[in-house]
């Protein structure tokens, strides 16, 4: 289904058409649920939190100032609510002096993976993603699947932009290493 | 590096996101219809700076201060003497009756309680305004 811009639905809701909120829920439910699931590790709890967050967002919709994206605002609500529920520590800061840029473009993993069947590619990336910690998986989901910018992720998680960059770089490296290992196994 | 990032992006976007149960949207909408109305918007105190109210109050205070004070450098103000000699005594006589009420210790005690309650209310209002979702 093709959705319209979030602000279109928000304006309709604020003008009294509550049913337009269903479109916003349908559009964001998977990512909201995924964020909650990565923090809570329990489908039932994640679904409950996701529901609560959509309700909270609805009730606070008038206070949303459209300075940021609705999705960033909503994901921040989900992140904070899920973290409060677990009383889990927020994402740790990464010391900047550990930030070493590795060049991982040399071994041609990209071109090798490209030659593999799309279904197999999917399995490979899912296996590689399973090796990530919950925090890493959350960041990568926000960045690649949620298409959030570094700034958006910084706003959602409360991490500084440089820390988000460092973490994402490390996760990419980790994913790349995992894919290389899987590729080698496939070839052998 | 950018090519590598695109490659990962493409690959990761192929894997589906986790999804909640099929009736998730219906249940959210059901909760919304049962929930109270949209929360009222609380206006920021700073937004009042864009209205005429604070400037009107400030102007009124300045007018009263300028016209009632004994500062010699304010003698040039037109009509100041008339205000001090004719208008102020009139207002003074208006409030003479109230003066007796306000000198009562019971009333003073009541006023103190009201002011304290007002200050507490403003502090509470200020903190609840600052809390975010």
Q: What is the pLDDT of residues B78-92, one digit of tens each?
A: 777 777 777 777 777
B128 falls in which pLDDT band (50, 70, 90)?
Answer: low
Which of B24, B39, B41 is nearest residue A47 as measured by Cβ atoms?
Answer: B24
Instruction: Determine the longest span between alpha carbons in chain A, in angstroms.
Output: 62
Indicate the average pLDDT of chain B. Answer: 76
User: Which residues have CB under 8 Å from A87's CB, separation 6+?
Assistant: none
DSSP B50-85: GSSHHHHHHHHHHHHHHHHS--GGGTTSTTHHHIII
Q: CA A116: distance to chain centroid? A: 26
For residue range B59-76, list pLDDT tens digits in order: 988 887 777 776 777 777
Q: Report chain A residues whose CB lies below 8 A from the CB of B5.
A: 172
Query: Scanning the structure block, which residue is given the tokens 């473009």?
Result: A105
B18 to A33: CB separation less than 8 angstroms, yes or no? yes
User: Which residues have CB under 8 Å from A162's CB, separation 6+?
Assistant: A96
Q: Which of B80, B15, B107 is nearest to A179 (CA)?
A: B15
| B121 HSE (CA, 13 A, CB side) | 6
- Would you kindly state where each structural domain of chain A is located, as residue ranges? 6-86, 96-187
Query: Scanning the structure block, which residue is given the tokens 């507490």?
Result: B120
B35 to A58: CB separation less than 8 angstroms, yes or no? yes
B29 to A19: CB separation less than 8 angstroms, yes or no? yes
A172 touches chain B (CB under 8 A): yes
Scanning A10-69 for CB atoms below 8 A from B yields: 14, 18-19, 21-22, 25-26, 29-31, 33-34, 37, 46-47, 50-51, 54-63
A93 touches chain B (CB under 8 A): no
| Tens-binned pLDDT, residue by residue, of chain A (188 aa) | 788 899 999 999 999 898 999 999 999 999 999 999 989 989 999 999 999 999 999 999 988 888 889 999 999 999 999 998 886 556 555 555 444 444 444 456 666 666 667 777 778 888 888 888 888 889 998 998 888 999 999 999 988 999 999 999 998 888 888 888 877 776 56
Taken in order B18, A77, A23, B30, the sign of the CA dihedral is positive
User: Which residues have CB under 8 Å from A29's CB, separation 6+?
Assistant: A50, A54, B19, B20, B24, B25
- The structural architecture, per CATH, of the domain A96-187 is Orthogonal Bundle (1.10)
What average pLDDT does range B12-28 have in this prediction?
87
A60 to B39: CB separation less than 8 angstroms, yes or no? yes
**What local confidence, expressed as pLDDT, does residue A26 receive?**
94
User: Which residues have CB under 8 Å from B65's CB, separation 6+?
Assistant: none
Which long-range contacts (C-beta less than 8 Å, at least 24 apart) are formed by B116-122?
A: none
User: In degrees to the nearest 10, what's the CA dihedral of A27, A32, A37, A40?
Assistant: -160
A33 to B9: CB separation less than 8 angstroms, yes or no? no
Query: Scanning the structure block, which residue is given the tokens 């298409």?
Result: A147
A55 to B32: CB separation less than 8 angstroms, yes or no? yes
B31 to A113: CB separation less than 8 angstroms, yes or no? no
B29 to A105: CB separation less than 8 angstroms, yes or no? no
pTM of the entire predicted model: 0.62
Q: Nearest chain B Cα to A57, which residue?
A: B133
Which of A47, A62, A77 is nearest residue B21 as measured by Cβ atoms?
Answer: A47
User: Closest Cα of chain B to A188: distance in Å?
Assistant: 22
- CATH 2.60.120.10 is right for the domain spanning A6-86: no
Q: How many CB pairs under 8 A join A and B?
A: 106
Q: What is the 3-state secondary structure (H, E, C) of A112-171?
A: HHHCCCHHHHHHHHHHHHHCCCHHHHHHHHHHHHCCCCHHHHHHHHCCCHHHHHHHHHHH
Burial of A171 (0-12, 13-18, 19+ CB in 10 A): buried
ipTM of the complex: 0.75
Q: Distance between CA B58 and CA A81 in Å, rounded?
A: 43
């Amino acid at each position: 289904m093709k959705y319209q811009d979030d602000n279109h639905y928000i304006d309709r809701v604020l003008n009294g058409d509550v049913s337009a909120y269903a479109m916003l829920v349908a559009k964001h439910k998977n990512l909201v649920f995924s964020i909650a699931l990565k923090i809570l590790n329990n489908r039932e709890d994640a679904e409950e939190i996701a529901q609560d967050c959509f309700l909270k967002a609805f009730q606070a919709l008038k206070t949303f100032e459209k300075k940021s994206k609705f999705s960033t605002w909503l994901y921040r609500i989900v992140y904070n609510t899920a973290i409060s529920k677990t009383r889990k520590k927020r994402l740790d800061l990464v010391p900047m002096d550990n930030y070493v840029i590795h060049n991982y473009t040399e071994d041609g993993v990209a071109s090798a993976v490209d030659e593999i069947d799309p279904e197999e590619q999917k399995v490979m990336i899912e296996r590689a993603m399973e090796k990530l910690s919950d925090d890493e998986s959350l960041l990568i989901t926000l960045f690649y699947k949620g298409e959030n910018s570094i700034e958006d992720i910084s706003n959602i998680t409360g991490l500084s932009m440089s820390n988000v960059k460092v973490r994402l770089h490390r996760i990419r490296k980790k994913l790349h290493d995992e894919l290389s290992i899987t590729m080698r196994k496939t070839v052998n | 590096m950018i090519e590598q990032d695109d490659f990962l992006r493409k690959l990761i976007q192929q894997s589906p996101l986790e999804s909640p149960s099929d009736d998730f949207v219906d249940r959210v909408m059901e909760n919304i219809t049962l929930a109270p109305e949209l929360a009222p918007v609380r206006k920021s105190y700073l937004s009042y700076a864009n209205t005429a109210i604070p400037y009107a109050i400030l102007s009124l205070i300045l007018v009263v201060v300028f016209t009632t004070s004994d500062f010699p450098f304010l003698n040039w103000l037109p009509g100041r003497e008339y205000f001090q000699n004719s208008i102020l005594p009139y207002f003074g006589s208006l409030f003479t009756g109230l003066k007796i009420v306000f000198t009562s210790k019971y009333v003073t005690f009541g006023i103190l309680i009201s002011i304290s309650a007002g200050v507490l209310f403003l502090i509470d209002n200020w903190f609840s305004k600052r809390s975010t979702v």
